[in-house]
Structure 1
Amino acid sequence: MSRFTLDQMRTFLTVVRRGGVRRAAAALSLTQPAVTARIKNLEDMLGCALFDRSAGGMKLTKRGELLLAHAEKFEHLVELVQRDVVDPEGVEGRLRIGASETIAQCWLPELVSRLHEVYPKLEIELNVDVSTDLREALLNREVDLAILLGPISEYSVDNIILPGFDLAWYTAANPREREGGGGDLTRPVMTYARNTRPFRELKELLYEKVGADVSMFPSTSLSACFRLVEADIGVAVLPRALGAEYVRAERIREFDPGWVPSPLQFTASYLSEPKSHLSETAAALALEVAELYAAGADAL
């Protein structure tokens, strides 16, 4: 009998975890025929069917269940070898990172730079999205590391708490004369996208402190929010770390209405199973970079 390969084992595990060939092909960046061929070759090698193929999808046979248990042990052993034996400079492959826009505009470039220093041959794929979508992408194994508003309360996910981001209120540097001044909270309030935790929390606070007639302008682009404030379209409550540059350039200014939402809490989250030394290392590096960024921001 020929020996099976690492690629065949990874493909088999991916098909099982993703629930089919199509999703496995997308996760592995392969064509569906290539994934099918790997599974067929593995079955031919073992002399048995691993999947029961029916209209209802692919379900493991009894032999497939047995192989799954061994394959997971084999995968764990490979991770231990990569962690303890392989020189980081020789590590190849792909690391898929999903990050919120706040992180992307702050310290994500520094994280990528650090990862390239440790793993020069590693291919890094970035996806910037809202936290709700990043959570689903991580649980669906479409990203390996999610840096998002967390933590993710799932038994299968490990979360590393990152330094938070203080929020501040902003208005135009030279707002037009109006009743209430530039910091009038009855004006449109620019903030995070509608399907995010910061939007929901801000909406509840505005209803409580200003009233139900408050006008909110949610946006997936924080840069657009700052530009709208600069143009005196409205006010905004956004991360101080991102607003500092605009304030220094005297394009906008902070104001104090007497209250501000709680700081944004981010986590570096990754799946605990299957264990991935690469994801763990990237999450630990994310914490180091975030702490250095926070220390620098505090010094400003």
Structure 2
Amino acid sequence: MTFEQLRTFLAVARMGGVRKAAEQLNISQPAVSARVASLESYLGTELFSRVSTGVVLTRKGVLLRDHADQIMAITERIKGDVMAEDSISSLLRLGVAETVAQTWLPDFLTELHRNFPKLNIEVSVDISLNLREMLLDRSLDLTILMGPISDYSTDNLELPPFQLDWYRPVGLEDPDLSVTPVITYNRNSRPHRELTQELRDRYGSTAQIFPTNSLSTGFEMVAAGIGVGILPHVLGGKFIEENRIANFDPGWQPTPLRFTATYIGEPRNELIARAARVAQQVANSHHEAVYG
């Protein structure tokens, strides 16, 4: 009985099938099946029963899962307590929201490489809704997104908020928000939902929202005179210095964006947990540098 057999057994048990377990472990389906078959042969008992939707644990399988969970948890604690960070060689699949990608992501990647020089990192930049689905589907290991994610399997480390500001074209001195389009985050985001409700409550059904998946495009739309914007304070300074946009105050301010470093906490992976803590440290340093 080997660690790889137990790790593979747990993946099949969690994912409910060989195909999804193979995708999570990044190995072939025949390799997954072979490991499970070898484990069953060694133990002399069936661990899974086939059902229409995949596989489920047998009674003996449930007993093994409890023992295997403990073994893997101890293994991860050993890694965390004993293993030197510069000896860790693995792959980290990182998913990041665009707000972070345009601010402190480079500092985070630099710090990760400094702490884990043998670590390979794959970065995906997407909207928080998609990042959430990819994390829960186990196609990402760590996500920096508008959180937290309320799921029993996830751990969330709170990150400093991003302040949102109002921006207007330099030639539009007093925008009328009942008719002037408001440019902001994509429609599947919390800022878009909150803004929709706020505008309707304050200005009625004539208020318009122009959502965008690209923050850079959003600022360019404001600069071009298409509308005003509710966009991150940390990214607006460059456009203001170039005299392409200006701040204004309509009498109310949007809620700051809440971000979390979120990862699958069950089963625990000490490397991912460490990387999340590094993200939290870098985010705190960046927030302090920007806002003091």
Q: Same fold (TM over 0.5)?
A: yes
Q: In the alignment, which of 179, 185, 188 is matched to residue 181 of structure 2?
A: 188
- 2:115 equivalent to 1:123: no
5 Å matches for 1:28-107? 28-107=25-104
Find the counterpart in structure 2 of residue 166 from structure 1.
Answer: 163
**C-alpha distance in 2, partners of 1:45/1:92?**
30
Supply the AA of the counterpart residue of 2:132: R
**C-alpha distance in 2, partners of 1:237/1:123?**
36
Shift of 1:41: 2.5
Q: In the alignment, which of 183, 189, 197 is matched to residue 190 of structure 2?
A: 197
Residues 156 and 54 (structure 1 numbering): CA distance in 2 closer, same or farther, change over 3 Å? closer
* Paired residue secondary structure (2:161): coil
Q: In the alignment, which of 231, 235, 255 is matched to residue 242 of structure 1?
A: 235
- Comparing 289-298 with 275-284, greater Cα deviation is found at 275-284
Find the counterpart in structure 2 of residue 24 from structure 1.
Answer: 21
**C-alpha distance in 2, partners of 1:130/1:28?**
25
Q: Does the 8 A contact of 1:157 with 1:270 survive in 2?
A: yes
- Which digits, 9 at most, give the CA deviation of each residue in 1:44-69, with x for residues without a partner? 33332221124342111222222211
Supply the AA of the counterpart residue of 1:19: G
- Which digits, 9 at most, give the CA deviation of each residue in 1:154-189, with x for residues without a partner? 3433222211111111122345xxxxx463322111
User: How many pairs align?
Assistant: 291
Find the counterpart in structure 2 of residue 156 from structure 1.
Answer: 153
Shift of 1:29: 1.6
Q: In the alignment, which of 258, 280, 283 is matched to residue 290 of structure 1?
A: 283
- 2:268 equivalent to 1:271: no
Q: CA RMSD in A?
A: 1.8
**C-alpha distance in 2, partners of 1:120/1:52?**
42
**C-alpha distance in 1, partners of 2:30/2:290?**
50
Find the counterpart in structure 1 of residue 5 from structure 2.
Answer: 8
Q: Structure 1 length as normaliser, TM-score?
A: 0.90
Supply the AA of the counterpart residue of 1:9: L
Find the counterpart in structure 2 of residue 252 from structure 1.
Answer: 245
- Which digits, 9 at most, give the CA deviation of each residue in 1:115-145, with x for residues without a partner? 1111111122222222223223333333222
Q: Does the 8 A contact of 1:190 with 1:234 survive in 2?
A: yes
Give unpaired runs (5+ residues) of structure 1.
176-180
- Which digits, 9 at most, give the CA deviation of each residue in 1:226-281, with x for residues without a partner? 11112111111001001112222222221221212111111112233212222221
Residues 56 and 257 (structure 1 numbering): CA distance in 2 closer, same or farther, change over 3 Å? closer
* Paired residue secondary structure (2:204): coil
Shift of 1:214: 1.0
Identical-pair percentage: 46
**C-alpha distance in 1, partners of 2:164/2:21?**
40
Find the counterpart in structure 1 of residue 204 from structure 2.
Answer: 211
* Paired residue secondary structure (1:253): strand
**C-alpha distance in 2, partners of 1:221/1:26?**
30
- Comparing 148-157 with 256-265, greater Cα deviation is found at 148-157
Give unpaired runs (5+ residues) of structure 2.
none
Residues 257 and 134 (structure 1 numbering): CA distance in 2 closer, same or farther, change over 3 Å? same
Q: Structure 2 length as normaliser, TM-score?
A: 0.93
- Comparing 128-137 with 95-104, greater Cα deviation is found at 128-137
